[in-house]
């Protein structure tokens, strides 16, 4: 009887230990998972600005290549037609249509975008990119009027944290850029492989 009681106690103790071990593993696993899911330090986002049409796109994966080093913007007299950003030395996929003219900008080696202003209605009408080198680049409808003859809404996108810069963009597009969001975070560490020459030209 005594041996049988010991056997029952041992089984109960083993079950208790197994349960404790399982809970410990679950806690550790959830902690590690939570750490990986935490946003980048100093991260925030602005938007979405624009209409509800178009197909969704995101450069969340592109930002892993490195900092934004260049951008291409296609625009006509009314709207921003298309966009393409370069992360380190890798260009993102082009999104948007084919109307209008393309302009290409290369940033300085230590230059980051820290503010974007613009105007929109059902599409993005114009964009102004402002950098930490006090340069600004203007694209789109300079007079602020849409194709339909009325003014849209204005926006001023800035990071929540002073040390943050533009890490990547997301939005929706079809024949034009329908909508945009701007995602901010800590600046990338500068690398020699990401250095580029400064160019400002029409294509």
Q: Which of 32-36, 86-90, 166-170 has the lowest mean pLDDT?
A: 32-36
Per CATH, the number for 44-202 is: 2.100.10.30
User: Is the CB of residue 141 less than 8 Å from the CB of residue 78?
Assistant: yes
Q: pTM of the entire structure?
A: 0.75
Q: What's the DSSP call for residue 151?
A: B
Please report where in the chains the tokens 């202003």 appear, as a residue.
Answer: 117
Give the pLDDT band (50/70/90) at residue 5: very low
Angle at 157 between CA 42 and CA 199, to 5 degrees: 95
pLDDT computed for residue 192 by the predictor: 78
**pLDDT tens across 66-89, in order?**
999 999 999 999 999 999 999 999
How far, CA to CA in Å, does 64 sit from each of 4, 33, 57? 62, 20, 16
DSSP H helices, the chain, are 2-37
What gap in Å lies between CA 68 and CA 201, rounded to an integer?
18
Query: Would you list the domain boundaries of the chain?
Result: 1-38, 44-202
How far, CA to CA in Å, does 62 sit from each of 88, 89, 90, 166, 168? 9, 11, 8, 13, 8
Share of the chain above pLDDT 90, in %: 65
């Amino acid at each position: 009887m005594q041996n049988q009681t010991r056997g029952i106690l041992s089984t109960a103790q083993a079950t208790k230990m197994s349960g404790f071990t399982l809970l410990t593993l679950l806690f550790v696993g959830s902690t590690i998972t939570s750490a990986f899911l935490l946003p980048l330090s100093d991260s925030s986002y602005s938007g979405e600005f624009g209409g509800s049409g178009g197909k969704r796109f995101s450069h969340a994966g592109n930002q892993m290549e490195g900092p934004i080093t260049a951008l291409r913007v296609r625009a006509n007299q009314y709207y921003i037609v298309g966009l393409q950003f370069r992360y380190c030395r890798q260009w993102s996929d082009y999104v948007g249509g084919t109307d209008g003219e393309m302009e290409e900008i290369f940033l300085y080696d230590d230059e980051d975008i820290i503010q974007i202003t613009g105007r929109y209605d059902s599409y993005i009408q114009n964009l102004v990119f402002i950098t930490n080198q006090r340069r600004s680049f203007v694209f789109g409808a300079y007079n602020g009027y849409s194709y339909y003859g009325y003014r849209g809404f204005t926006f001023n996108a800035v990071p929540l944290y002073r040390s943050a810069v533009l890490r990547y963009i997301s939005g929706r597009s079809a024949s034009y850029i329908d909508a945009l969001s701007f995602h901010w975070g800590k600046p990338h560490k500068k690398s020699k492989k990401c250095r580029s020459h400064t160019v400002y030209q029409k294509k």
